[in-house]
Amino acid sequence: MNALHPLRPLRIGAAAAFVTLVCFLSSAIAAQAPQVKPPRAPGDFGPPQGKPIRAVLTSPPNVPPPTNRKYPAKVIVELEVIEKDMQISEGVSYTFWTFGGTVPGSFIRVRQGDTVEFHLKNHPTSKMPHNIDLHGVTGPGGGAASSFTAPGHESQFSFKALNEGIYVYHCATAPVGMHVANGMYGLILVEPPGGLPKVDHEFYVMQGDFYTTGKYREKGLQPFDMEKAIDERPTYVLFNGAEGSMTGDKALQAKTNQKVRMYVGNGGPNLVSSFHVIGEIFDNVRYEGGSNIQHNVQTTLIPAGGAAVVEFRTEVPGSYVLVDHSIFRAFNKGALAILKVDGPENKAIYSGKELDSVYLGDRAEPSLAAVTKAAAAAAGGTLTQQDQINAGKVLFTGTCSVCHQANGQGLAGVFPPLAKSDYLTSDTKRIISTVLHGLSGKVVVNGKEYNSVMPPMTQLNDDEVANILTYVYGSWGNSGARISADEVKKVRTQPAPSAASGH
């Protein structure tokens, strides 16, 4: 047996051996993790001192400044529930229920030992009663029973923040799942008495899963789908309540050689997050929001109703992509955000040139505006061919260009060209069907044979297919045909074509 096995001396039963074991363990911990501070016990730090303080609340992705306080105080938190329609994805809106008008709700920051006087208001235009359960509260329901608030009312309760840490809060009014699914969650940070180590940037990021009756990116106001929620089949998985909440010109910003800290929560209601930043390694993770710090972590699990604090240094400039590494959620349900790091290259650490398009597709630029414009025009009955081409170009970049290339030339022997493709001159129904149902088997394009597989683009809705094809037909010397969403709708119900049947 291994002589170094730490449990072996215990079997001998000598007290000295036990002391050796304790020393071995504590020195091992100290050696491995010099930055770990001894975990602090929960504690009553005595009565609040000084004048009552009004808490600074921030909306995501912002975090309130450190309390910078050496004593426990009485801190007044005023939070208002507002039910409102907001954009969940380009051209898609949803009736969110919010703490403070945003999803996730306002970030609250207090110090361990503070006495928090909590005021919960429910806006008069609300249709539902709401309450709040703060995981940082010691007491039945985390405040839920004391904070039940009808529309137009306000309730008040107080608690002492006994434990330091990062905690989720959420609404706990029945049906609880529905209130959470509509965006009713946020984070409260209880700083340790000495505060947290200084960093250059702090960000507030919170994941949530959303359930709409329409498909992913289906336009218009989308109602909540209770059945999908019960079955745990989300339409969207999002950071900060909207697809694109932190991409394009809303990307998080940092410079090279800075320390970044992210408070990352997961509101659920159903999914557990495998939180990862593509191209970074977390130097420190306070996993599960607890007092232990783990180092050199690639992906950290964040349970529904849980949170973590991740920290890393920025060394190399570029776009770093925040994802749930359950990766379909990132690329097909919206769980994707960007941290843009500016600064000089550091070739000793990373030689490469930046290739945004590999990971980002249509999210690399804030150009989805063209898609929104086309959707609005379609709804208003004023959609022009140019609107479709503009929107289609953006969608083509995110969907088709990875194979057919941005210039439509394809890749010799692998992906056929769409530019001046003679295949495109066949019946437009057949081309629509190619996009909807995919294509496989032998095809001849401009005299060259291809025998490969194009997967069905089932994630695209009728508008999107119509716009993409209008763009394809309107580009690179193709026929200029215009495709309508109605045509796509008709073809969708028909069976898939087979490549062998020719044209």
> Choosing among Cu ion, ligand HEC, none, which partner's interface includes residue 468 (Cβ < 5 to 8 Å by kind)?
ligand HEC
Between 297 and 436, name the residue whose CB sits nearer to ligand HEC: 436
Count of residues that interact with Cu ion, criterion CB under 5 A: 5
**Residue 59, token pair as written in the block:** 């909306």
Which listed residue (445, 482, 484, 492) binds ligand HEC by CB under 6 A? 445
> Choosing among Cu ion, ligand HEC, none, which partner's interface includes residue 441 (Cβ < 5 to 8 Å by kind)?
ligand HEC
φ, ψ at 402 (rounded to 5°): -60, -30
Q: How far apart are CA 230 and CA 101, in angstroms?
A: 26
183, 208 Cβ separation under 8 angstroms = yes
Parallel, antiparallel or unpaired: strands 220-221 and 92-99 = parallel
Q: How far apart are CA 370 and CA 424, in angstroms?
A: 25
Parallel, antiparallel or unpaired: strands 74-89 and 115-122 = parallel
DSSP letter for each residue of 187-230 = EEEEE-TT-----SEEEEEEEEEE-BSSPTT--EEPPB-HHHHH
C-alpha pair distances (Å), 307 with each of 63, 100, 167, 169: 15, 20, 6, 10
> Choosing among ligand HEC, Cu ion, none, which partner's interface includes residue 399 (Cβ < 5 to 8 Å by kind)?
ligand HEC
- Note whether 374 binds ligand HEC by CB under 6 A: no
Which listed residue (35, 298, 332, 451) binds ligand HEC by CB under 6 A? 451
- Note whether 179 binds Cu ion by CB under 5 A: yes
> Choosing among Cu ion, ligand HEC, none, which partner's interface includes residue 69 (Cβ < 5 to 8 Å by kind)?
none
- Note whether 390 binds Cu ion by CB under 5 A: no
Q: How far apart are CA 335 and CA 149, in angstroms?
A: 32
What b/e sequence results for 109-127 when a residue is b if at least 16 CB atoms lie within 10 Å of its CB, and e otherwise? bbbbbbbbbbebbbeeebe
The residue among 270, 298, 323, 293 whose CA lies nearest residue 166 is: 293
- Note whether 434 binds ligand HEC by CB under 6 A: yes
Closest approach of Cβ 184 to Cu ion, in Å? 5
Between 134 and 171, name the residue whose CB sits nearer to Cu ion: 171
- Note whether 171 binds Cu ion by CB under 5 A: yes
Question: Is residue 259 classed exposed, middle or buried when 0-12, 13-18 and 19+ CB atoms within 10 A define those classes?
Answer: middle
Of residues 117-146, those binding Cu ion (CB under 5 A):
130
- Note whether 184 binds Cu ion by CB under 5 A: yes
State the binding string over 405-424 for ligand HEC (x if CB under 6 A, else -): ----------xxxx--x-xx
Which listed residue (134, 254, 468, 488) binds ligand HEC by CB under 6 A? 468
> Choosing among ligand HEC, Cu ion, none, which partner's interface includes residue 499 (Cβ < 5 to 8 Å by kind)?
ligand HEC
Which listed residue (112, 173, 319, 433) binds Cu ion by CB under 5 A? 173
Q: What is the contact surface with Cu ion in residues (CB under 5 A)?
A: 130, 171, 173, 179, 184
Q: What is the contact surface with ligand HEC in residues (CB under 6 A)?
A: 399-400, 402-404, 415-418, 421, 423-424, 431, 434-435, 439-441, 443, 445, 450-455, 457, 468, 472, 499
